[in-house]
Structure 1
Amino acid sequence: MSQEITAAQRQHPTRVASKPSSYRPEVQGLRALAVLMVVTYHIWFGRVSGGVDIFLLISAFLLTLSFIRKVEAGRPLALGRYWMHLFKRLLPAVVVVLLAVLAATALFVPRSRWSDILAQTWSSLLYFQNWVLAANSVDYYATDQSVASPLQHFWSLSVQGQVFILWPLLFALAAVIARATRVRFRRIVLLVFGVVFVLSLTFSIHETYTNQAHAYFDTRTRLWEFAFGTLLALAIPYLKLPRPLRIAAGWVGLAAMLSGGFILDVQGQFPGYVALWPLVAAALVIVAGQTGSPIGADRVLTWKPLIRLGDMSYALYLWHWPILVIYLIWRGREEVGLVGGSAIIALSLVLAYLTTKFVERPLRSMAWVDAKKRRSGVVIAVCVALVAVPVAGWQQGLQVQKERAEAEAVQNNPGARVLLDGYEDQSSPESPTLPLLSSLGSEWGTLDGDCSSYDDGPTDPVLAERCVGTDSQDYEKTLLVLGDSHSQQWLGAIQPMAESNEYRVFALMLGACPFGEPNSERRPECNDFNEAALRYAHELKPDAVVAVGTAAHPTEAQDNVVAGLPEAAVDLAGFGIPVVAIRDNPRFGVNMIQCAEANGDRGDDCAFPLSDKLSDSSEMAAIFDSLQGLALVDMTDLICPDGWCSPVVGNVFVYLDDNHLTKSFTASMSGEFDRRFHDAVHW
């Protein structure tokens, strides 16, 4: 590599020797405006500004200038030293913020959200938060996102961290190719990152159109934005615009940058081709550069207070979001006003200043640490340990609490069993309510087997990836459970019934997709899923299909037969397959478990009359009696005993959120569910 660089210096001695300083004050001012956009849009407008995309571009732009100078000056890339130095500089501020978030979580955040925040602390610390959010964004069963995580903003830092590892490798690859082919290094860089730009942008457009929620956090859909910054850095030496055009470009870019978040649906349409708006806007400002004109945009961007804000933009980005979210949680609000928002910004600025002055700068300028890679490694290891130790200890403590409570659950947490005739309640008044609020993530119904272990398991890709089953190979009958999360929640009662009767169970689930004949009211994915499920039922010929038969309304006193279910039941009846329809549980306008946490789980503040939630039971029974092939199982009297729907029955939380039952509670109904199920199918 050094020979290739020496040759490049001989061919272009002045070009290499006359490199300008890497410091561009207008870019630092641009960074400051971008972080102000992010902060103000988050706090007051509830929108995404496009400022993060500008950060991505600037990061790649500056990184590219640095690596090109290195190679063309004949210096080794020294990737190991580069990464050590980089993460030694980035991690300390991250650690300070993560520790502050953990402390605030313990003080102000409900216990029901602790597990999720602890898990996201790991993903934030280790730079894979964006993948966690990408999975949750398309996961119907993910934790309630009505209030965002205080660590959600780490998604963009995770993407950057991943690119900070990938980009140097691509530069090293370009240097190897340039040496092997004797082609100028810049041309190879142009080729490599041009390919990245085209491939990533194409993928980004496709995924944004087909799966925008996932695409927003996907690293692959963001690589082209970094590549844009790299290509801009390569083009800058050749973009010699006349001064009047540069002045105009600066102002046009600045105006487009500041207005894009209002004009575009950034959160709903990014990061497809629409993300070109903030990137091109920022590029115009960078191309304009320092015009030296009193009316140039750079006159604003090089204003000293703005430059200083740019210097602490990283810390400001880290601090503003957790302060905002924890404030909203603490005050029980969904938004902040002018005064509250201004206070959040002021506190964020103070903490950003302190973090920059006493954490970032000292470690960045500590020559003793940079002198040897292992010293930087020690700093990184200490940073990781400072967060890892308390998080691991906290998670272990929650696990111990869970195991201790579950060991005594049979006696102290009877759930629906307490309502059955002859049951003698021997629970201790001091015993905790189950599930523990820190364990809600494991409260979705599931089965312990894999459908692929059976020869007659579904092979259609639409179904196979969504199928779970029991693991018993000796069975008397087969049950096929179909539908959405409201069918899934009953697996907590179905699995014990299946085990005691030697039944095999297959469960095919798609979130927000109740089982029934396809119809125009459902999204195409749901119709495709139900069509495939019907075809599979014809092939499998189970002894019964189980699905939720009604859909309750959160604010009206009614539940209606699921659209398309009667038609599907008639279809299946032609194959001799009965359909067992479980009546839907009441739904609410509030999160029942959070209401119980805030108001006490044994009070009346979160109790609602059943008559305000569901249709009359006798009328619903009569409707199903008139429908061919459908048998109704109604467990409402156990969910809402004595006509009242409360968050706790028998020292067990009934609801997981505002409309789903906990696995712990459905499991407590398994004995009575077994009896009513068999009465319905006459087995």
Structure 2
Amino acid sequence: MSVGEGTATPRPTWRQDIQGLRGIAVLLVVLYHAGVPGFSGGYIGVDVFFVLSGYLITGLLVREVNETGRVDLWRFYARRARRLLPAAAALIVGVALFAAVFYAPVEQALIARTALATAAYASNLLFVSDATDYLAAGAETNPLLHTWSLAVEEQFYIAWPLLVGVLLAGWAAFRKAGAAPRHRQRLVWGAALVSLLSFGFMLALMGSRYAHWAFFFSPARAWEFGLGALAVLAPQAASGARGDATDNGEPARGLAGLRFEGGSDPVSPLAHALGWAGLIAVLASGVAFTTTTPFPGWAALLPTVGTALALRGGTAATRTALARTLAWRPLQELGRLSYSWYLWHWPVLVFAAGLYGELPLATRVALALGSLLLAEVSYRFIENPVRHNRWFAASSRRGLGLLAGVTVLSLVIGGGWYVAARGLAESPRHRALTNVLKDVPDLYERECQRSTVSDTLGEDCTDVFASGENLASGADSTPTVQAPETGREVVLLGDSHAAQWAPALQAIAKQRGWTLSYHTKSGCAPLGVSYVDPRLDRIYTECETWTGLVMDSIRAARPDLVVLAISHQTPISPEAWREGMDQTLVALAEASGDVVVFRDTPWAPTDTPVCLSRQEHYAAFGRTPDPSSCDFAADHDSGERVYAILKASARARGASVLDLTDLVCPGGTCTARRGEMVTFRDPHHITATYAEALAEPLARELDRVVPSRAASPEAEG
């Protein structure tokens, strides 16, 4: 039987259960972003939205073919434009205005770049390209990060109507006249095939070095929309209710007019029970999942299938307990504002943290709730007036004109802002601070500092200094001459917090005639333990592979000295730290002469060069720059526990530990500038220039814990 065959079209009814699901989804996302304890998996709210979109849009398209015999693509796109784009454009304008006043030019340029991608409906592709760029700004500080999911939905809206039309009615669905045939079974099988292929593609990505693509890439997320489509296409068990739907041109977020067929028919006891199970699955995912849960992956089935079951369990009416629960007034209000709240809550949280540093929980919750006011303003004065404007609604051409106009306007705003910000960042006032962000060791340019997704050793990453040279003096040091130790082999091992010391060790090696090899990799603690990399959102398999190759290389080379440094913020447990350090130090002791472990450098509460640039930027508004406000105390906080583990492991394994805190931050204060030299290039890496200036005091510290070969009895003999 074709869709709707032999059945009169019933009067649509209101779907409060969907509005309630939308309210739950946005609440989970906001609570997660606000860091509220107990909602560590709230990010699954986005997946709930994806399933809802597939459900609503498929139902809308099926109903349109059922009633008119065709799919009016231009009308469909015009409705999407009226609903989504005005609020998104307002977001871009609001973010641009705020950042232009309070953020440094280099920060503005990065945000403007995202605004451009958002205006082009491609911010998800921008974020996936930045996911493994270690020098890219942290995504969590980008006030437009959340637009990646909007881009995925917008890309879905472009492709899905074509697929549904072709599968349901063939190309006849897009003709202006004549009734197209309707083949429901073909659409069901087609949607199922697309979903299975997408799901398989996502799993393949999750098992590869490109797992970050599984999170951001639309084809890897299409199965979630397809699951929603199957939920609306599947027959309603034992009730005769149908799931064809129209949403009056609304997207999955923030619908105000949801109307479905079959609203008065009863729900079977089985469907009702499964609906409750689905809702519980969604809530359990939001509570039980964490940032270490490999996601999307198999885990994504729990909230997405749960959403589909909840939708099926609520397709009848408001008489069921599930429907009454989802119809709870607060959930209905959150559902009404869900699109607006989703848009505005994230930039509010990010801007507040960017200006004032880490915020207490109560403040974050207050800000999240306060962003509801912005959501209400956006909904009442931007979204609704445009969506319900009769002039736009009367003609698809006008709606498409709105689409083109808003898109061009957003692109012009984003592009103009980007050009202006880049120009300001390169102005005499800011150029030096902008360049500090690139003041990195030459290991990066030489590709010896391995990227996140690399699992191989760097080539030509050994510098041989056959004869000693005078050590270049630093800003606060006096040149000295050390007897050459020609032929001494030294290895620098660790993550980027090891790589930051390369300029200092290179200067020492030049003076003493060392052979210096580099084994460093972004975010990789060479401890031989498995852990999830937060940038990749999965087990860091490349780190495990790379670590094994490095240890083999060190065993073969048998160096005289290994210098090991690792970020104390590596996301592993204290037990894993102990196990990994013991294992690594035992292996290094067997393969090398001496081992020195560096304590991690202090972490700044803000990005130091950006903080300094902001001070210069504020001068344009009449405020006197205060560089000292960018200084910070050398307080390691969580680093204390890791440092204790390092010392205990080193003591047991015959290694030495160097605490370089006083070297980097004399007197317990980390100054942003020492003379004209900027000390940190971001919150947790010292600049290459500063590292080289610390070469001489570092050499003295090394001589203190590991006497130089030239001064040892063996060297004299």
Q: TM-score of the superposition, structure 1-length normalised?
A: 0.69
What is aligned with 1:381?
408
Q: Secondary structure at the match of 1:240?
A: coil
Shift of 1:595: 8.3
Any conservation in 2 of the 1:481–1:547 contact (CA below 8 Å)?
A: yes
Is the contact made by 1:446 and 1:468 (CA closer than 8 Å) also made in structure 2? Answer: no
Post-superposition offset of 1:666: 2.5
Deviations 1:53-99 (CA, angstroms, capped at 9, x unpaired): 22111111122123334556675556577556634642221111122
Residues 110-125 of structure 1 correspond to what in structure 2 (within 5 A)? Answer: 114=108, 116-125=110-119
Contact between 1:514 and 1:548, CA under 8 Å: does it hold in 2? no
Correspondence 1:186-585 to 2 at 5 A: 186-202=184-200, 204=202, 216-217=215-216, 219-236=218-235, 240=239, 243=266, 245=268, 248-249=272-273, 252=276, 256=280, 259-260=283-284, 263-265=287-289, 268-269=292-293, 270-289=295-314, 291=316, 294=319, 297-298=322-323, 310=335, 312-330=337-355, 332=357, 333-336=359-362, 341-362=368-389, 365-367=392-394, 370-371=397-398, 376-401=403-428, 405-406=431-432, 436=433, 442-447=438-443, 463-464=455-456, 467=458, 481-493=492-504, 507-514=518-525, 518=528, 525=541, 526-536=543-553, 547-548=563-564, 567=586, 572-573=591-592, 583-584=598-599
- Correspondence 1:606-621 to 2 at 5 A: 606-608=632-634
Q: Which amino acid aligns with 2:548?
A: E
Partner in structure 1 of residue 146 of structure 2? 153
| Residues 548-580 of structure 1: CA deviation (Å, up to 9, x unaligned) | 3688899xxxxx99756665555555xxxx889
CA contact (8 A) 1:468 1:506 kept: no
Matches of 1:219 and 1:15, distance apart in 2? 34
Q: 1:22 and 1:631 mapped to 2: Cα distance?
A: 75
After TM superposition, give the deviation of residue 655 of structure 1 in Å: 2.6
Note the C-alpha offset of 1:533: 1.5
Secondary structure in 2 matching 1:365: helix
Call closer, same or farther: CA 1:471–1:175 in 2, change over 3 Å.
farther
**RMSD over aligned Cα atoms:** 5.7
Q: Which moved more, 1:222-231 or 1:657-666?
A: 657-666
- Is 1:37 matched up with 2:27? yes
Q: In structure 1, what is the Cα distance between the partners aligned to 2:170 and 2:492?
A: 56
When residues 44 and 344 of structure 1 are mapped into structure 2, their CA distance, relative to the original with a 3 A threshold, is farther
Change in Cα spacing, 1:346 to 1:311, as seen in structure 2 (3 Å) is closer
SS at match of 2:85: helix
The one-letter code matched in structure 2 to 1:663 is A
Alpha carbons 1:448, 1:470 under 8 Å: kept:
no
Gaps of 5+ in 2: 173-179, 241-264, 468-486, 533-538, 571-577, 616-624, 641-645
- Residues 673 and 254 from structure 1, CA distance in 2 versus in 1: closer, same or farther, beyond 3 angstroms? closer
Q: Which amino acid aligns with 1:60?
A: G
Other-structure match for 2:52 = 58
- What is the distance in 1 between the residues matched to 2:411 and 2:13? 31
Matched, 1:25 2:12: no
Partner of 1:654: 679
Task: Report the alpha carbon displacement of residue 532 of structure 1 after superposing the two structures with TM.
Answer: 0.5
Moved more, 260-269 or 351-360: 260-269
Whether the 8 Å CA contact 2:48–2:303 is kept in 1: the answer is yes
- 1:95 maps to a residue whose letter is A
Paired AA for residue 338 in structure 2: S
How much has 1:365 moved relative to structure 2? 3.1
Aligned partner letter, 1:488: A
Letter of the aligned partner of 1:317 in structure 2?
A: Y
CA distance 1:492–1:252, shift in 2 (3 Å): same
**Retained in 2: the 8 A contact 1:95–1:387?**
no
TM-score (norm 2): 0.66
1:587 matched to 2:602:
yes
Corresponding residue SS for 1:381: helix
How many Å apart are 1:228 and its aligned residue?
Answer: 0.6
Q: CA deviation at 1:639?
A: 2.9
The verdict on how the C-alpha distance between 1:32 and 1:667 changes in structure 2, with shifts beyond 3 A counting, is: same
Unaligned stretches of 5+ residues in structure 1: 1-10, 407-435, 555-559, 615-619
1:521 and 1:324 mapped to 2: Cα distance? Answer: 28
Distance 2:314 2:658 in 1: 71
8 Å CA contact 1:250, 1:298 repeated in 2:
no
Q: Report Cα offsets for 1:377-428 as digits up to 9, x if no partner.
A: 34422232233322332233213358x644xxxxxxxxxxxxxxxxxxxxxx
Q: Residue 296 of structure 2 aligns to which amino acid in structure 1?
A: P
Q: 1:469 to 1:481 in 2, by over 3 A?
A: farther
Higher helix share: 1
